[in-house]
């Protein structure tokens, strides 16, 4: 058997690629070493056009391409040349008897199935872009990695070219690493195909997940944890954002930025969301992003320090100047004008991420959370409540202004860890109570933070006076509502559905406040 340092000399290579990035440079490097190149279809034509000598697979195998190209490499002369073991005399004898020449390098990437689906192609086109021969070649080469190297990604070519140029082949350690990547590539490909076939079934009997590593992070939530970031879709946001400036993003930065951008995308009017430790600490709407920033900041200026800022409009110079006045970790927005970029460039460590668009908060999707020995999967919380959905349950109906603020506050609730209570006024949060074990405590903490913000701003009255309040789930007892009333809220929005709804409604009526039920809960854990 081979050892870790054994090189496999490359004498014959099979090249069949859909993505022809880097193809010519690789083939020229192989040809310079006297490697015989076998190829098919478009790859062969591209190589010939570049002046590289290539032998068609059909000429090598003696078997023509058939069935509109569906069968071209699925022949013994190809798979025998890949799978034959060089250390077994019986394999060598059989290969010789059947005129099968060994193949030392397989370079294959697959039909663009995911891209075909993404562009909305017809089902027939999607099926035709399911590669059969490619995965078979990749898996065969990876299985026989003791003697065969396999390249499945143009990003692998430069290192392979350098190694082959220096040593004439690839080490067993290289081949083993490439084999692992090859199986990961075919697994991800099959996962995409399986998901497409199961597209009408939200939770199929076997759920397959795959992602492409975007970067290895310095550490996870804490320095003793390892972490990496994987991309797995095209939803506008953290995975598709372009970093314009700033230092490396951490695990916590990525997590918080995703939370902020998903929240700000909920609103049609210009909005700003400030997030700290995955929870909004300020959310506001206004006619201009700069005004929305000031309103959001006023909710909790202490927590905003070192936070993540998300906008649903392009970042302009005025807004950038205001945000840059305090320490901010990340700003994410659809775009930024030249003045804003110049202003933020003075803050070398501040990360500016531009997405080119906003995610659709109503779009379907599946979220996954790992558990010991498995994982949970659920559809994304894309529920949205409109004014027509509200059920007025108190003697007093909310005013139009209160309804607007109630809907705003309830939409913010969706993005705050449970138990959550939100106080809002004039399109801005004025108090946020997040992640508490008791709903009463969430209401009190939100009111306390609002009082502290008012005191710091030199205001006589607490910010919650005259506000509305939102609860992500029903009040199990009247005490939670009473805490909200004590804070000065005049109207409340909550899902309803408690066994003690009548008791809670009676407490609201006794205080003269308005209350509406949504029939929809927004737990977030």
DSSP string, 253-303: HHHHHHHHHHHHTT-SS-EEEEEETTEEEEEEE-SSHHHHHHHHHHH-HHH
pLDDT for residue 165: 86
Q: How far apart are CA 461 and CA 414, in angstroms?
A: 28
Q: Give the per-residue pLDDT at 1.
A: 43
Whole-angstrom distance, CA of residue 251 vs CA of residue 509: 47
pTM of the prediction?
Answer: 0.86
Please confirm, yes or no, whether 143 is among the known catalytic residues.
Answer: yes
Arithmetic mean of pLDDT, 282-299: 97
Question: In this predicted model, what pLDDT tens digit does every residue of 250-270 receive, in sequence order?
Answer: 999 999 999 999 999 999 999
Q: How far apart are alpha carbons 264 and 259 in whole angstroms?
A: 9
Q: What pLDDT, on a 0 to 100 scale, did the predictor assign at position 347?
A: 94
Predicted confidence band at 57 (pLDDT cuts at 50, 70, 90)? Answer: confident
Catalytic residue status for 243: no
| Nearest one of 218, 200, 145, 164 to 26, comparing CA atoms | 164
Quick check: 2 pLDDT over 50? no
Among 160-169, 304-313, 515-524, name the one with the lowest average pLDDT. 160-169
239-354 architecture in CATH? 3-Layer(aba) Sandwich (3.40)
pLDDT of residue 506: 96
| Cα distance between the two ends of the chain | 52
Domain 7-197's class? alpha beta
What pLDDT is recorded for position 210?
A: 85
- Asked if the model's pLDDT at residue 111 lies above 60, the reply is yes
pLDDT of residue 105: 94
Q: Which of 28, 91, 143, 243 is catalytic?
A: 143
Q: Looking at the predicted structure, is the pLDDT value of residue 401 above 90? A: yes
Which pLDDT score, from 0 to 100, does residue 79 have? Answer: 85
Q: Which of 24-38, 69-83, 87-101, 389-403 has the lowest mean pLDDT?
A: 69-83
* pLDDT above 90 for 405: yes
| Percent of the chain's residues with pLDDT above 70 | 99
What confidence tier does 42 reach under pLDDT thresholds 50, 70, 90? confident
Instruction: In whole angstroms, give the CA distance from residue 203 to residue 336.
Output: 39
Nearest of 177, 118, 131, 172 to residue 1 by alpha carbon: 172
* Intrachain domains 7-197 and 387-517 with the same fold: no
Q: What is the pLDDT of residue 378?
A: 93
pLDDT of residue 316: 97
- Average pLDDT score over residue span 281-302: 96
Q: How confident is the model at residue 3 (pLDDT cuts 50, 70, 90)?
A: very low
The domain limits of the chain are: 7-197, 239-354, 387-517
Mean pLDDT of 88-96: 87
Q: What's the whole-number mean pLDDT along residues 458-487?
A: 93
Contacts of 155 (CB under 8 A, 6+ apart): none
Non-local (6+) Cβ contacts of 243 within 8 A are 249, 351, 352, 353
Average of per-residue pLDDT values in the chain: 92
pLDDT reading at 4 higher than 70: no
Mean pLDDT, to the nearest integer, of 365-383?
Answer: 92
d(CA 39, CA 133): 13
CA distance 218 to 202: 35
The confidence score (pLDDT) of residue 511 equals 97
pLDDT score for 356: 95
pLDDT at residue 467, as a whole number: 96
Check pLDDT > 80 for residue 163.
yes
Q: Can you tell me the mean pLDDT for 387-415?
A: 97
User: Average pLDDT in the 391-397 region?
Assistant: 97
Question: Among residues 20, 28, 91, 277, which one is catalytic?
Answer: 277
Distance CA 18, CA 134 (A): 10
- Confidence at residue 154, expressed as pLDDT on a 0 to 100 scale: 94
Mean pLDDT, residues 91-112 taken together = 89
3 state SS of 408:
helix
Q: What percent of the chain has pLDDT over 90?
A: 70
- Greater confidence (214 vs 62) lies with 214
CATH second-level architecture of 387-517? Answer: 3-Layer(aba) Sandwich (3.40)
Q: Tens of pLDDT along 305-328? A: 999 999 999 999 999 999 999 999
């Amino acid at each position: 058997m081979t050892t870790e340092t054994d090189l496999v000399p490359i004498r014959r290579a099979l090249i069949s690629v859909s993505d022809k990035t880097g193809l010519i440079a690789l083939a020229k490097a192989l040809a310079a070493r006297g490697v015989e190149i076998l190829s098919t279809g478009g790859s062969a034509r591209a190589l010939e056009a570049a002046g590289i000598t290539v032998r068609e697979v059909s000429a090598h195998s003696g078997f023509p391409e058939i069935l509109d190209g569906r069968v071209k490499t699925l022949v013994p002369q190809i798979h025998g040349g890949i799978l034959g073991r060089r250390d077994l005399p019986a394999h060598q004898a059989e290969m010789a008897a059947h005129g099968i020449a060994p193949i030392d390098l397989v370079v294959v990437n697959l039909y663009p199935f995911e891209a075909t689906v993404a562009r909305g192609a017809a089902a027939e086109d999607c099926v035709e872009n399911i590669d059969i021969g490619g995965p078979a070649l990749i898996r065969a080469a990876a299985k026989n990695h003791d003697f065969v190297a396999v390249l499945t990604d143009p990003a692998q070519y430069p290192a392979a070219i350098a190694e082959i140029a220096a040593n004439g082949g690839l080490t067993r350690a290289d081949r083993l690493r490439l084999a692992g990547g090859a199986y990961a590539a075919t697994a991800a490909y099959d996962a995409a195909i399986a998901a497409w076939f199961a597209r009408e079934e939200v939770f199929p009997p076997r759920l397959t997940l795959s992602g492409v590593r975007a970067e290895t992070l310095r550490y996870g939530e804490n320095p003793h944890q390892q972490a990496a970031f994987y991309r797995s879709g095209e939803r506008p946001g953290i995975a598709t954002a372009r970093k314009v400036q700033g230092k490396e993003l951490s695990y916590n930065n990525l997590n918080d930025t995703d939370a902020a951008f998903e929240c700000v995308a909920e609103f049609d009017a210009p909005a700003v969301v400030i997030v700290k430790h995955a929870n909004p600490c300020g959310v506001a709407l206004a006619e201009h992003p700069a005004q929305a920033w000031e309103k959001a900041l006023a909710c909790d200026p202490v927590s905003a320090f070192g936070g993540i800022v998300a906008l649903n409009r392009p970042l302009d110079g005025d807004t950038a100047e205001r945000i840059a006045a305090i320490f901010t970790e990340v700003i994410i927005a659809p775009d930024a004008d030249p003045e804003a970029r110049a202003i933020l460039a003075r803050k070398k460590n501040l990360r500016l991420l531009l997405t080119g668009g906003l995610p659709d908060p109503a779009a379907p999707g599946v979220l996954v959370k790992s558990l010991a020995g498995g994982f949970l999967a659920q559809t994304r919380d894309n529920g949205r409540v409109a004014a027509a959905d509200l059920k007025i349950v108190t003697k007093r109906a909310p005013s139009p202004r209160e309804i607007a603020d109630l809907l705003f506050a309830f939409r913010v609730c969706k993005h705050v860890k449970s138990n959550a209570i939100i106080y809002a006024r004039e399109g801005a949060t004025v108090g946020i109570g997040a992640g508490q074990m008791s709903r009463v405590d969430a209401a009190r903490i939100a009111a306390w933070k609002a009082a502290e913000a008012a005191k710091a701003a030199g205001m006589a009255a607490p910010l919650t006076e005259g506000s509305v309040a939102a609860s992500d789930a029903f009040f199990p007892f009247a005490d939670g509502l009473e805490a909200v009333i004590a804070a000065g809220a005049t109207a409340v929005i909550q899902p309803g559905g408690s066994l003690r709804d009548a008791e809670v409604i009676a407490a609201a009526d006794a205080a003269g406040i308005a209350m509406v039920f949504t029939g929809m809960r927004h737990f977030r854990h």
